[in-house]
Amino acid sequence: MSKMRDELDQTRRSLDTLVLTRRAEGTAQLQVEAYRSENARLLSLLAKTPEFNNFAEFAIDSGAGVRYMNATNPSDKAPSPNQNR
């Protein structure tokens, strides 16, 4: 009987872990969608400015995103946005 209780407890813990993992994945997916929506909104705002109109239109048209390329030496790697300056 004790062994069955232990197995039941283990199964409950596994189920709890699975439910929490799925909730976390769902939350992450919602956050990604929120970021996409916010990026689209910001690009739309940029498109209305004379300084960034061409860039914003290019970024919107590209669909998959825009990457930075070093204009003086395109073979150089772009700096990481997380890199301390």
Q: What is the pTM of this model?
A: 0.49
Give the H or E element holding residue 68: none
Q: Which amino acid is at 30?
A: L
pLDDT values of the chain reduced to their tens digit, one per residue, 85 residues? 888 888 888 888 888 888 888 888 888 888 988 988 888 888 888 888 888 777 777 777 776 666 655 566 656 665 555 555 4
Backbone angles phi, psi at 72, to 5 degrees: -80, -30
Give CA 42 to chain center in angstroms: 16
Instruction: Let me know: does 78 contact 66? Beta carbons within 8 Å.
Output: no
Mean pLDDT of the chain: 77
